[in-house]
A and B are shown apart, each in its own frame.
Chain A
Amino acid sequence: MGKHMLKRIDLIFKNEHDTDAILQKIFKRSNEDLINDLIGSGLKGRGGAGFPTGLKWKLTSEAEGDEKYVICNADEGEPGTFKDREILSQVPHKVLTGMAACGRIIGAKKGFIYLRGEYNFLKPNLQKEIDNFHKILKSLKSDFRIEIFSGSGAYICGEESSLMESMEGRRGEPRNKPPFPTEIGYLGKPTVINNVETLAHAWTIFKYGPKKFRDLGVQDSRGSKLFSVSGDTPVAGIYELELGMSLQDFVDDFGDGDTKAVQVGGAAGFCVPRKKFRETAIGYQGKLTGISLPTGGSMMLFNSSRSMYNVLKNYLEFFEEESCGQCTPCRVGCQQLLEGVEAVKRGDKPHHYLDKLMRLTETMKLTAKCGLGQSVANSFSSIVENFREEMIY
Protein backbone atom coordinates (compact mmCIF):
# COMPACT_ATOMS: atom_id res chain seq x y z
CA MET A 1 0.00 0.00 0.00
CA GLY A 2 3.00 2.28 0.26
CA LYS A 3 2.37 5.52 2.06
CA HIS A 4 -0.39 5.65 4.66
CA MET A 5 -2.90 8.50 4.72
CA LEU A 6 -3.53 7.92 8.41
CA LYS A 7 -0.89 7.93 11.09
CA ARG A 8 -0.55 4.58 12.89
CA ILE A 9 -0.57 4.97 16.67
CA ASP A 10 1.16 2.51 18.96
CA LEU A 11 -0.06 3.00 22.52
CA ILE A 12 -2.38 0.16 23.46
CA PHE A 13 -0.33 -2.78 22.23
CA LYS A 14 3.01 -1.24 23.15
CA ASN A 15 4.56 -3.88 25.33
CA GLU A 16 5.29 -2.20 28.66
CA HIS A 17 5.30 -4.33 31.74
CA ASP A 18 5.88 -2.08 34.74
CA THR A 19 2.57 -2.81 36.45
CA ASP A 20 4.11 -2.59 39.89
CA ALA A 21 5.56 0.90 39.33
CA ILE A 22 2.40 2.27 37.72
CA LEU A 23 0.19 0.96 40.50
CA GLN A 24 2.49 2.52 43.10
CA LYS A 25 2.31 5.81 41.25
CA ILE A 26 -1.51 5.62 41.03
CA PHE A 27 -1.97 4.67 44.69
CA LYS A 28 0.23 7.60 45.80
CA ARG A 29 -1.89 10.21 44.06
CA SER A 30 -5.19 11.63 45.28
CA ASN A 31 -8.47 10.47 43.76
CA GLU A 32 -9.20 14.00 42.70
CA ASP A 33 -5.91 14.23 40.78
CA LEU A 34 -6.53 10.95 39.02
CA ILE A 35 -10.06 11.91 38.03
CA ASN A 36 -8.85 15.27 36.78
CA ASP A 37 -6.29 13.51 34.58
CA LEU A 38 -8.98 11.30 33.09
CA ILE A 39 -11.34 14.22 32.50
CA GLY A 40 -8.50 16.32 31.13
CA SER A 41 -7.51 13.59 28.68
CA GLY A 42 -10.92 13.76 27.00
CA LEU A 43 -11.27 9.96 27.10
CA LYS A 44 -14.75 8.77 26.17
CA GLY A 45 -16.09 5.21 26.43
CA ARG A 46 -14.64 3.08 23.67
CA GLY A 47 -17.51 0.61 23.51
CA GLY A 48 -19.28 3.03 21.20
CA ALA A 49 -21.61 5.05 23.41
CA GLY A 50 -18.88 7.59 24.20
CA PHE A 51 -19.74 8.65 27.74
CA PRO A 52 -16.83 10.63 29.30
CA THR A 53 -14.91 8.10 31.39
CA GLY A 54 -13.63 10.54 34.01
CA LEU A 55 -17.14 11.79 34.68
CA LYS A 56 -18.45 8.21 35.02
CA TRP A 57 -15.79 7.44 37.64
CA LYS A 58 -16.44 10.73 39.41
CA LEU A 59 -20.21 10.16 39.62
CA THR A 60 -19.69 6.65 40.97
CA SER A 61 -17.12 7.83 43.48
CA GLU A 62 -19.69 10.33 44.78
CA ALA A 63 -22.58 7.84 44.85
CA GLU A 64 -23.70 6.46 48.23
CA GLY A 65 -23.10 2.76 48.73
CA ASP A 66 -21.62 0.39 51.28
CA GLU A 67 -20.26 -1.65 48.38
CA LYS A 68 -19.31 -0.67 44.85
CA TYR A 69 -18.17 -2.59 41.82
CA VAL A 70 -15.97 -2.23 38.73
CA ILE A 71 -16.97 -4.22 35.68
CA CYS A 72 -14.93 -4.63 32.53
CA ASN A 73 -17.29 -5.23 29.63
CA ALA A 74 -15.62 -7.90 27.49
CA ASP A 75 -18.84 -9.06 25.86
CA GLU A 76 -17.57 -8.00 22.46
CA GLY A 77 -20.43 -9.12 20.25
CA GLU A 78 -20.99 -6.36 17.72
CA PRO A 79 -20.50 -7.85 14.26
CA GLY A 80 -17.16 -6.70 12.88
CA THR A 81 -15.42 -5.94 16.17
CA PHE A 82 -12.63 -8.09 17.58
CA LYS A 83 -10.19 -5.64 19.20
CA ASP A 84 -11.07 -6.40 22.84
CA ARG A 85 -10.11 -10.02 22.36
CA GLU A 86 -6.69 -8.90 21.18
CA ILE A 87 -6.24 -6.46 24.10
CA LEU A 88 -7.08 -9.21 26.57
CA SER A 89 -4.63 -11.61 24.92
CA GLN A 90 -1.76 -9.19 24.41
CA VAL A 91 -1.89 -6.58 27.19
CA PRO A 92 -4.32 -7.82 29.86
CA HIS A 93 -2.22 -6.19 32.61
CA LYS A 94 -3.17 -2.74 31.28
CA VAL A 95 -6.87 -3.56 31.63
CA LEU A 96 -6.39 -5.01 35.11
CA THR A 97 -4.45 -1.90 36.16
CA GLY A 98 -7.22 0.32 34.81
CA MET A 99 -9.73 -1.67 36.87
CA ALA A 100 -7.64 -1.44 40.04
CA ALA A 101 -7.24 2.32 39.58
CA CYS A 102 -10.99 2.65 39.15
CA GLY A 103 -11.60 0.48 42.22
CA ARG A 104 -9.33 2.65 44.31
CA ILE A 105 -11.01 5.88 43.08
CA ILE A 106 -14.64 4.84 43.49
CA GLY A 107 -14.04 2.73 46.62
CA ALA A 108 -14.70 -0.73 45.16
CA LYS A 109 -13.04 -3.89 46.44
CA LYS A 110 -14.28 -6.13 43.72
CA GLY A 111 -13.96 -6.11 39.95
CA PHE A 112 -15.39 -8.44 37.30
CA ILE A 113 -14.45 -9.12 33.71
CA TYR A 114 -17.59 -10.19 31.85
CA LEU A 115 -16.03 -12.30 29.13
CA ARG A 116 -18.24 -13.46 26.26
CA GLY A 117 -18.61 -17.24 26.01
CA GLU A 118 -17.17 -17.14 22.51
CA TYR A 119 -13.87 -16.07 24.10
CA ASN A 120 -13.73 -18.88 26.68
CA PHE A 121 -10.37 -19.95 25.24
CA LEU A 122 -8.87 -16.76 26.70
CA LYS A 123 -9.71 -17.80 30.24
CA PRO A 124 -6.67 -19.89 31.30
CA ASN A 125 -4.19 -17.17 30.34
CA LEU A 126 -6.30 -14.34 31.64
CA GLN A 127 -6.73 -16.11 34.98
CA LYS A 128 -2.94 -16.51 35.21
CA GLU A 129 -2.54 -12.77 34.60
CA ILE A 130 -5.14 -12.02 37.27
CA ASP A 131 -3.35 -14.27 39.78
CA ASN A 132 -0.06 -12.46 39.15
CA PHE A 133 -1.81 -9.13 39.38
CA HIS A 134 -3.35 -10.07 42.73
CA LYS A 135 0.16 -10.79 44.06
CA ILE A 136 1.25 -7.28 43.10
CA LEU A 137 -1.87 -5.78 44.68
CA LYS A 138 -1.21 -7.73 47.86
CA SER A 139 2.36 -6.45 48.04
CA LEU A 140 0.97 -2.91 47.76
CA LYS A 141 -1.54 -3.62 50.55
CA SER A 142 -4.50 -3.28 48.22
CA ASP A 143 -7.45 -5.61 48.82
CA PHE A 144 -8.96 -5.13 45.36
CA ARG A 145 -9.70 -8.46 43.63
CA ILE A 146 -10.79 -9.35 40.09
CA GLU A 147 -12.92 -12.26 38.92
CA ILE A 148 -13.85 -13.53 35.46
CA PHE A 149 -17.57 -13.97 34.78
CA SER A 150 -18.38 -15.92 31.61
CA GLY A 151 -21.19 -15.07 29.25
CA SER A 152 -23.05 -17.74 27.31
CA GLY A 153 -23.75 -16.42 23.84
CA ALA A 154 -26.06 -13.41 24.00
CA TYR A 155 -25.27 -10.24 22.04
CA ILE A 156 -27.63 -8.17 24.16
CA CYS A 157 -25.49 -8.76 27.24
CA GLY A 158 -22.99 -6.25 25.82
CA GLU A 159 -25.62 -3.67 26.82
CA GLU A 160 -24.54 -2.69 30.32
CA SER A 161 -27.79 -3.23 32.20
CA SER A 162 -28.42 -6.61 30.52
CA LEU A 163 -24.89 -7.56 31.41
CA MET A 164 -25.62 -6.89 35.06
CA GLU A 165 -28.88 -8.83 34.91
CA SER A 166 -26.89 -11.70 33.44
CA MET A 167 -24.29 -11.46 36.21
CA GLU A 168 -27.11 -11.58 38.74
CA GLY A 169 -28.17 -14.96 37.33
CA ARG A 170 -31.08 -13.83 35.20
CA ARG A 171 -32.12 -13.49 31.56
CA GLY A 172 -30.05 -10.73 30.03
CA GLU A 173 -32.93 -8.30 29.63
CA PRO A 174 -32.08 -4.58 29.73
CA ARG A 175 -33.25 -2.38 32.59
CA ASN A 176 -34.92 0.97 32.24
CA LYS A 177 -32.52 3.90 32.54
CA PRO A 178 -32.32 5.98 34.65
CA PRO A 179 -31.27 4.96 37.23
CA PHE A 180 -27.83 4.53 35.68
CA PRO A 181 -25.28 2.00 36.94
CA THR A 182 -23.27 4.83 38.53
CA GLU A 183 -26.11 4.93 41.10
CA ILE A 184 -27.74 1.51 40.90
CA GLY A 185 -25.67 -1.12 39.13
CA TYR A 186 -24.62 -4.68 39.90
CA LEU A 187 -26.66 -6.03 42.85
CA GLY A 188 -28.16 -2.56 43.17
CA LYS A 189 -24.81 -0.99 44.10
CA PRO A 190 -23.00 1.91 42.39
CA THR A 191 -21.00 0.38 39.55
CA VAL A 192 -18.54 1.56 36.94
CA ILE A 193 -18.83 -0.48 33.79
CA ASN A 194 -16.26 0.20 31.10
CA ASN A 195 -15.29 -1.34 27.80
CA VAL A 196 -11.97 -3.27 27.71
CA GLU A 197 -10.32 -0.65 25.51
CA THR A 198 -11.42 2.23 27.74
CA LEU A 199 -9.64 0.65 30.70
CA ALA A 200 -6.50 0.08 28.63
CA HIS A 201 -6.51 3.77 27.63
CA ALA A 202 -6.82 4.71 31.30
CA TRP A 203 -3.50 2.90 31.80
CA THR A 204 -1.85 5.06 29.12
CA ILE A 205 -3.26 8.23 30.67
CA PHE A 206 -2.06 7.35 34.17
CA LYS A 207 1.35 6.32 32.85
CA TYR A 208 2.06 9.26 30.52
CA GLY A 209 -0.31 11.95 31.75
CA PRO A 210 -3.39 13.30 29.99
CA LYS A 211 -1.59 15.45 27.42
CA LYS A 212 -0.13 12.61 25.38
CA PHE A 213 -3.65 11.24 24.88
CA ARG A 214 -5.35 14.59 24.41
CA ASP A 215 -2.86 15.64 21.72
CA LEU A 216 -4.26 12.91 19.50
CA GLY A 217 -7.58 13.33 17.72
CA VAL A 218 -9.66 16.45 17.19
CA GLN A 219 -11.98 18.71 19.20
CA ASP A 220 -14.50 16.55 21.06
CA SER A 221 -12.98 13.33 19.77
CA ARG A 222 -9.69 13.02 21.61
CA GLY A 223 -7.16 10.25 21.64
CA SER A 224 -6.62 7.13 19.62
CA LYS A 225 -8.99 4.25 19.10
CA LEU A 226 -8.67 0.67 17.97
CA PHE A 227 -10.41 -0.14 14.71
CA SER A 228 -11.41 -3.63 13.70
CA VAL A 229 -11.14 -3.71 9.91
CA SER A 230 -12.83 -6.48 7.93
CA GLY A 231 -14.78 -7.30 4.80
CA ASP A 232 -13.46 -6.46 1.34
CA THR A 233 -10.01 -5.27 2.32
CA PRO A 234 -6.57 -6.68 1.57
CA VAL A 235 -5.40 -5.75 5.07
CA ALA A 236 -8.06 -6.98 7.52
CA GLY A 237 -6.94 -6.62 11.13
CA ILE A 238 -6.74 -4.31 14.13
CA TYR A 239 -5.35 -0.78 13.82
CA GLU A 240 -4.91 2.02 16.32
CA LEU A 241 -5.78 5.33 14.66
CA GLU A 242 -6.61 8.87 15.74
CA LEU A 243 -10.25 9.79 16.18
CA GLY A 244 -11.62 12.40 13.83
CA MET A 245 -10.23 10.81 10.66
CA SER A 246 -12.00 11.23 7.36
CA LEU A 247 -13.69 8.12 6.03
CA GLN A 248 -12.17 8.84 2.61
CA ASP A 249 -8.66 8.63 4.08
CA PHE A 250 -9.64 5.43 5.84
CA VAL A 251 -10.90 3.88 2.59
CA ASP A 252 -7.77 5.03 0.75
CA ASP A 253 -5.68 3.16 3.33
CA PHE A 254 -7.79 0.06 3.85
CA GLY A 255 -10.05 -0.37 0.81
CA ASP A 256 -9.42 -2.69 -2.14
CA GLY A 257 -9.82 0.10 -4.70
CA ASP A 258 -13.46 -0.78 -5.31
CA THR A 259 -15.12 0.10 -2.00
CA LYS A 260 -18.77 1.00 -2.48
CA ALA A 261 -19.79 1.26 1.17
CA VAL A 262 -18.42 1.12 4.69
CA GLN A 263 -20.50 -0.04 7.64
CA VAL A 264 -19.30 2.04 10.59
CA GLY A 265 -20.11 0.63 14.04
CA GLY A 266 -21.29 -2.85 13.13
CA ALA A 267 -24.84 -4.05 12.55
CA ALA A 268 -25.99 -1.40 15.04
CA GLY A 269 -24.07 1.30 13.15
CA PHE A 270 -24.41 3.23 9.91
CA CYS A 271 -23.76 2.32 6.31
CA VAL A 272 -21.93 5.07 4.41
CA PRO A 273 -22.02 4.97 0.59
CA ARG A 274 -19.03 5.99 -1.55
CA LYS A 275 -20.45 9.43 -2.38
CA LYS A 276 -20.42 10.36 1.32
CA PHE A 277 -16.89 9.14 2.22
CA ARG A 278 -15.44 12.64 1.97
CA GLU A 279 -17.92 14.41 4.19
CA THR A 280 -17.88 11.70 6.88
CA ALA A 281 -15.58 11.79 9.88
CA ILE A 282 -15.15 9.08 12.50
CA GLY A 283 -15.71 10.58 15.93
CA TYR A 284 -18.26 12.35 18.08
CA GLN A 285 -20.32 15.13 16.52
CA GLY A 286 -19.39 17.97 18.89
CA LYS A 287 -18.38 21.02 16.89
CA LEU A 288 -17.48 19.04 13.79
CA THR A 289 -19.21 19.98 10.57
CA GLY A 290 -20.47 17.35 8.18
CA ILE A 291 -21.43 13.86 9.21
CA SER A 292 -19.57 12.36 12.12
CA LEU A 293 -20.07 8.82 13.24
CA PRO A 294 -19.04 7.42 16.59
CA THR A 295 -18.12 3.74 16.65
CA GLY A 296 -16.99 0.94 18.89
CA GLY A 297 -14.42 0.37 16.17
CA SER A 298 -16.17 -1.98 13.77
CA MET A 299 -15.33 -0.99 10.18
CA MET A 300 -16.66 -3.35 7.52
CA LEU A 301 -15.88 -2.62 3.89
CA PHE A 302 -18.02 -3.75 0.97
CA ASN A 303 -16.94 -3.63 -2.66
CA SER A 304 -19.09 -3.44 -5.77
CA SER A 305 -19.45 -7.22 -5.98
CA ARG A 306 -21.62 -7.21 -2.83
CA SER A 307 -25.39 -6.99 -2.73
CA MET A 308 -26.40 -4.54 -0.03
CA TYR A 309 -29.70 -6.41 0.18
CA ASN A 310 -27.76 -9.46 1.39
CA VAL A 311 -25.90 -7.30 3.88
CA LEU A 312 -29.10 -5.80 5.30
CA LYS A 313 -30.83 -9.18 5.39
CA ASN A 314 -27.88 -10.65 7.33
CA TYR A 315 -28.06 -7.80 9.87
CA LEU A 316 -31.81 -8.19 10.28
CA GLU A 317 -31.50 -11.94 10.81
CA PHE A 318 -28.89 -11.12 13.43
CA PHE A 319 -31.13 -8.62 15.23
CA GLU A 320 -34.19 -10.84 15.03
CA GLU A 321 -32.26 -13.61 16.81
CA GLU A 322 -30.47 -11.41 19.30
CA SER A 323 -33.43 -9.23 20.30
CA CYS A 324 -34.14 -10.24 23.90
CA GLY A 325 -37.87 -10.19 23.24
CA GLN A 326 -38.70 -8.19 26.32
CA CYS A 327 -40.19 -5.13 24.62
CA THR A 328 -42.66 -5.30 21.76
CA PRO A 329 -41.21 -2.65 19.42
CA CYS A 330 -37.94 -4.56 19.11
CA ARG A 331 -39.28 -8.13 19.25
CA VAL A 332 -42.01 -7.62 16.65
CA GLY A 333 -40.22 -4.82 14.83
CA CYS A 334 -37.17 -6.91 13.95
CA GLN A 335 -39.39 -9.72 12.64
CA GLN A 336 -41.49 -7.34 10.55
CA LEU A 337 -38.44 -5.60 9.08
CA LEU A 338 -36.92 -8.90 8.00
CA GLU A 339 -40.16 -10.24 6.56
CA GLY A 340 -40.81 -6.87 4.95
CA VAL A 341 -37.55 -6.57 3.01
CA GLU A 342 -37.88 -10.18 1.88
CA ALA A 343 -41.41 -9.53 0.64
CA VAL A 344 -40.34 -6.42 -1.29
CA LYS A 345 -37.46 -8.33 -2.86
CA ARG A 346 -39.79 -11.16 -3.91
CA GLY A 347 -42.23 -8.64 -5.35
CA ASP A 348 -44.99 -9.60 -2.90
CA LYS A 349 -45.03 -6.05 -1.56
CA PRO A 350 -44.78 -2.79 -3.54
CA HIS A 351 -41.62 -0.63 -3.47
CA HIS A 352 -43.21 1.97 -1.25
CA TYR A 353 -43.62 -0.64 1.48
CA LEU A 354 -39.98 0.22 2.22
CA ASP A 355 -41.15 3.66 3.37
CA LYS A 356 -43.56 2.02 5.77
CA LEU A 357 -40.70 -0.07 7.14
CA MET A 358 -38.61 3.10 7.52
CA ARG A 359 -41.39 4.59 9.65
CA LEU A 360 -41.38 1.40 11.71
CA THR A 361 -37.67 1.86 12.43
CA GLU A 362 -38.39 5.43 13.52
CA THR A 363 -40.96 4.07 15.99
CA MET A 364 -38.45 1.49 17.23
CA LYS A 365 -35.87 4.23 17.70
CA LEU A 366 -38.33 6.11 19.87
CA THR A 367 -39.96 3.30 21.81
CA ALA A 368 -37.56 0.35 22.12
CA LYS A 369 -36.29 -0.11 25.64
CA CYS A 370 -32.58 -0.31 24.93
CA GLY A 371 -29.85 0.53 22.45
CA LEU A 372 -30.33 -2.69 20.48
CA GLY A 373 -33.89 -1.99 19.43
CA GLN A 374 -33.19 1.70 18.96
CA SER A 375 -30.16 1.15 16.75
CA VAL A 376 -31.76 -1.24 14.25
CA ALA A 377 -32.96 1.97 12.59
CA ASN A 378 -29.36 3.03 11.92
CA SER A 379 -28.33 0.28 9.55
CA PHE A 380 -31.81 -0.17 8.14
CA SER A 381 -32.40 3.42 7.11
CA SER A 382 -28.83 4.09 5.98
CA ILE A 383 -28.82 1.00 3.73
CA VAL A 384 -32.36 1.44 2.38
CA GLU A 385 -31.90 5.15 1.72
CA ASN A 386 -28.60 4.78 -0.09
CA PHE A 387 -29.15 1.48 -1.88
CA ARG A 388 -32.89 1.45 -2.46
CA GLU A 389 -32.70 -0.06 -5.93
CA GLU A 390 -30.70 -3.00 -4.58
CA MET A 391 -33.49 -3.68 -2.09
CA ILE A 392 -36.05 -3.92 -4.89
CA TYR A 393 -34.39 -5.47 -7.97
Chain B
Amino acid sequence: MTDIQELVTGLVEKHGRKREKLLPILQGVIEKERSVSDFAMVEIAKQMGISAADVYGTATFYSFMDTEPRGEYVIRICKTITCFMKGKNQILLALEDALKIKLGETTPDRKFTLLETNCLGWCHKAPAMLINDEIYTDLTIEKVHEIIVEYKNK
Protein backbone atom coordinates (compact mmCIF):
# COMPACT_ATOMS: atom_id res chain seq x y z
CA MET B 1 0.00 0.00 0.00
CA THR B 2 1.31 3.47 -0.83
CA ASP B 3 1.49 6.29 1.74
CA ILE B 4 -1.51 7.98 0.17
CA GLN B 5 -3.57 4.80 0.26
CA GLU B 6 -2.67 4.36 3.90
CA LEU B 7 -3.57 7.96 4.67
CA VAL B 8 -6.95 7.61 2.93
CA THR B 9 -7.65 4.29 4.68
CA GLY B 10 -6.96 5.92 8.05
CA LEU B 11 -9.21 8.88 7.27
CA VAL B 12 -12.06 6.70 6.00
CA GLU B 13 -11.80 4.55 9.12
CA LYS B 14 -11.87 7.66 11.32
CA HIS B 15 -14.76 9.45 9.58
CA GLY B 16 -16.76 6.63 8.01
CA ARG B 17 -17.99 6.25 4.45
CA LYS B 18 -21.05 8.49 4.47
CA ARG B 19 -21.09 11.12 1.73
CA GLU B 20 -21.26 13.92 4.31
CA LYS B 21 -17.77 12.89 5.44
CA LEU B 22 -16.21 13.67 2.07
CA LEU B 23 -15.05 17.17 3.02
CA PRO B 24 -13.39 16.10 6.29
CA ILE B 25 -11.63 13.28 4.42
CA LEU B 26 -10.40 15.60 1.66
CA GLN B 27 -9.32 18.10 4.32
CA GLY B 28 -7.39 15.35 6.08
CA VAL B 29 -5.44 14.64 2.88
CA ILE B 30 -4.77 18.37 2.33
CA GLU B 31 -3.58 18.79 5.90
CA LYS B 32 -0.97 16.11 5.38
CA GLU B 33 -0.08 16.57 1.71
CA ARG B 34 -1.06 20.26 1.15
CA SER B 35 -2.87 19.15 -2.01
CA VAL B 36 -5.04 16.30 -3.20
CA SER B 37 -3.70 14.42 -6.23
CA ASP B 38 -5.71 12.57 -8.89
CA PHE B 39 -4.42 9.35 -7.35
CA ALA B 40 -5.68 10.38 -3.90
CA MET B 41 -9.09 11.37 -5.31
CA VAL B 42 -9.50 8.01 -7.08
CA GLU B 43 -8.48 6.23 -3.88
CA ILE B 44 -11.02 8.21 -1.83
CA ALA B 45 -13.71 7.41 -4.41
CA LYS B 46 -12.87 3.70 -4.28
CA GLN B 47 -12.85 3.50 -0.52
CA MET B 48 -16.02 5.57 -0.08
CA GLY B 49 -17.85 3.75 -2.84
CA ILE B 50 -18.65 6.90 -4.86
CA SER B 51 -17.54 7.96 -8.33
CA ALA B 52 -14.19 9.65 -8.84
CA ALA B 53 -16.05 12.37 -10.74
CA ASP B 54 -18.02 13.17 -7.58
CA VAL B 55 -14.83 13.46 -5.55
CA TYR B 56 -13.13 15.54 -8.22
CA GLY B 57 -16.19 17.77 -8.69
CA THR B 58 -16.40 18.41 -4.98
CA ALA B 59 -12.69 18.97 -4.35
CA THR B 60 -12.25 21.39 -7.24
CA PHE B 61 -15.13 23.55 -6.01
CA TYR B 62 -13.19 24.70 -2.93
CA SER B 63 -10.31 27.14 -3.24
CA PHE B 64 -8.43 25.61 -0.31
CA MET B 65 -8.50 22.14 -1.87
CA ASP B 66 -5.56 22.38 -4.21
CA THR B 67 -5.31 19.67 -6.82
CA GLU B 68 -1.85 20.76 -7.98
CA PRO B 69 1.21 19.91 -5.88
CA ARG B 70 1.93 22.58 -3.28
CA GLY B 71 4.82 23.41 -1.01
CA GLU B 72 5.04 22.52 2.66
CA TYR B 73 3.92 26.06 3.51
CA VAL B 74 1.12 27.52 1.44
CA ILE B 75 1.06 31.31 1.66
CA ARG B 76 -2.25 32.95 0.76
CA ILE B 77 -2.21 36.71 0.67
CA CYS B 78 -5.56 38.49 0.81
CA LYS B 79 -6.34 40.54 -2.31
CA THR B 80 -9.81 41.83 -1.39
CA ILE B 81 -10.60 45.52 -1.16
CA THR B 82 -9.22 46.64 2.22
CA CYS B 83 -5.98 44.66 1.90
CA PHE B 84 -5.72 45.98 -1.65
CA MET B 85 -6.13 49.55 -0.34
CA LYS B 86 -3.60 49.02 2.42
CA GLY B 87 -0.75 47.94 0.18
CA LYS B 88 -1.25 44.27 -0.61
CA ASN B 89 0.68 44.68 -3.88
CA GLN B 90 3.82 45.81 -2.02
CA ILE B 91 3.48 42.83 0.30
CA LEU B 92 3.18 40.49 -2.66
CA LEU B 93 6.33 41.99 -4.22
CA ALA B 94 8.16 41.57 -0.91
CA LEU B 95 7.09 37.91 -0.76
CA GLU B 96 8.18 37.30 -4.35
CA ASP B 97 11.49 38.92 -3.49
CA ALA B 98 11.99 36.91 -0.30
CA LEU B 99 11.01 33.59 -1.91
CA LYS B 100 12.43 34.23 -5.39
CA ILE B 101 9.25 32.95 -7.02
CA LYS B 102 6.27 34.56 -8.71
CA LEU B 103 2.63 34.45 -7.64
CA GLY B 104 1.21 30.96 -8.20
CA GLU B 105 4.60 29.27 -8.07
CA THR B 106 6.27 26.87 -5.65
CA THR B 107 9.91 27.13 -4.57
CA PRO B 108 12.20 24.46 -6.13
CA ASP B 109 12.76 22.93 -2.68
CA ARG B 110 8.98 22.49 -2.41
CA LYS B 111 8.93 24.46 0.83
CA PHE B 112 6.72 27.45 -0.15
CA THR B 113 3.82 28.10 -2.50
CA LEU B 114 2.68 31.69 -3.05
CA LEU B 115 -1.02 32.28 -3.76
CA GLU B 116 -3.64 34.99 -3.48
CA THR B 117 -6.99 34.51 -1.79
CA ASN B 118 -10.23 36.38 -1.16
CA CYS B 119 -11.18 38.20 2.04
CA LEU B 120 -9.60 36.55 5.10
CA GLY B 121 -11.69 38.52 7.60
CA TRP B 122 -8.92 40.78 8.97
CA CYS B 123 -9.84 44.00 7.15
CA HIS B 124 -9.21 46.07 10.30
CA LYS B 125 -5.64 44.76 10.39
CA ALA B 126 -4.87 44.79 6.67
CA PRO B 127 -2.87 43.62 4.87
CA ALA B 128 -3.19 40.03 5.96
CA MET B 129 -2.01 36.59 4.85
CA LEU B 130 -2.31 32.96 5.86
CA ILE B 131 0.60 30.52 6.02
CA ASN B 132 -1.18 27.19 6.16
CA ASP B 133 -3.61 27.84 9.07
CA GLU B 134 -1.56 30.61 10.75
CA ILE B 135 -2.70 34.19 10.27
CA TYR B 136 -0.36 37.20 9.91
CA THR B 137 -1.80 40.71 9.96
CA ASP B 138 -0.72 44.39 9.79
CA LEU B 139 1.94 43.26 7.33
CA THR B 140 4.85 45.47 6.36
CA ILE B 141 7.70 44.69 3.99
CA GLU B 142 10.08 44.25 6.95
CA LYS B 143 7.63 41.97 8.74
CA VAL B 144 7.24 39.78 5.65
CA HIS B 145 10.99 39.26 5.39
CA GLU B 146 11.21 38.37 9.09
CA ILE B 147 8.35 35.86 8.79
CA ILE B 148 9.87 34.17 5.75
CA VAL B 149 13.28 33.87 7.44
CA GLU B 150 11.54 32.29 10.41
CA TYR B 151 9.83 29.71 8.16
CA LYS B 152 12.99 29.05 6.13
CA ASN B 153 14.71 28.07 9.38
CA LYS B 154 11.93 25.70 10.42
Contact = CB atoms under 8 A, between A and B. Distances in A.
A310 B83 CA distance: 13
Contact of A121 (B22, B80, B84, B135): B135
A49 to B, nearest CB: 19
A118 B130 contact: yes
Interface string A179-197: 0000000010000000000
B73 interface: no
A156 to B, nearest CB: 9
Nearest to B26: A152
Contact of B81 (A79, A172, A237): A79
Nearest to B119: A79
Contacts of A82: 121-124
Given A152-B63, A171-B61, A236-B124, A77 B118 contact: yes
B62 A154 contact: yes
Which secondary structure dominates chain A's binding surface? Answer: mixed
Contacts of A171: 57-58, 61
A314 B121 contact: no
B126 interface: yes
Contact of A118 (B24, B26, B120, B126): B120
Contact of B61 (A154, A263, A310, A317): A154
Interface residues of B, number: 37
Interface in B9-25: 18-24
B124 A169 contact: no
Interface in A69-104: 76-82, 85
Contacts of B58: 169-171
A153 B20 contact: no
A231 B123 contact: yes
A324 interface: yes
A282 to B, nearest CB: 18
A306 interface: yes
Task: Choose among A77, A82, A229 the residue with the greatest number of B CB atoms under 10 Å from its CB.
Answer: A82
Interface in A155-173: 155, 166-173
Nearest to A302: B85
Assign chain A's interface to a size class: 35 or more
Interface in A206-264: 228-232, 236-238, 263
Nearest to A76: B121
Contacts of A310: 84
A279 interface: no
B133 interface: yes
B105 to A, nearest CB: 19
B7 interface: no
A172 B119 contact: no
A121 B62 contact: no
Nearest to A322: B118
Contact of B27 (A78, A152, A155, A263): A152
Contacts of B119: 77-80, 155, 318
Contact of A231 (B23, B27, B85): B85
B123 A236 contact: yes
B125 A236 contact: yes
B150 interface: no
A115 to B, nearest CB: 11
A230 B123 contact: yes
Given A152-B62, A153-B62, A311-B81, A81 B121 contact: yes
A155 B64 contact: no
Nearest to A236: B124
B63 to A, nearest CB: 4
B64 A152 contact: yes
B20 A80 contact: no
Interface in A310-332: 310-311, 314-315, 317-318, 321-322, 324
Interface string B85-129: 100000000000000000000000000000001111111111000
Ranked nearest first, the 9 interchain pairs of A and B with the lowest CB-CB distance are A169-B22, A153-B64, A230-B123, A236-B124, A152-B62, A153-B63, A171-B61, A120-B133, A152-B64
Given A119-B121, A187-B20, 15 more contacts: A79-B82, A82-B121, A82-B122, A82-B124, A85-B121, A152-B23, A152-B27, A153-B118, A154-B63, A167-B20, A168-B19, A170-B19, A236-B125, A315-B81, A321-B63
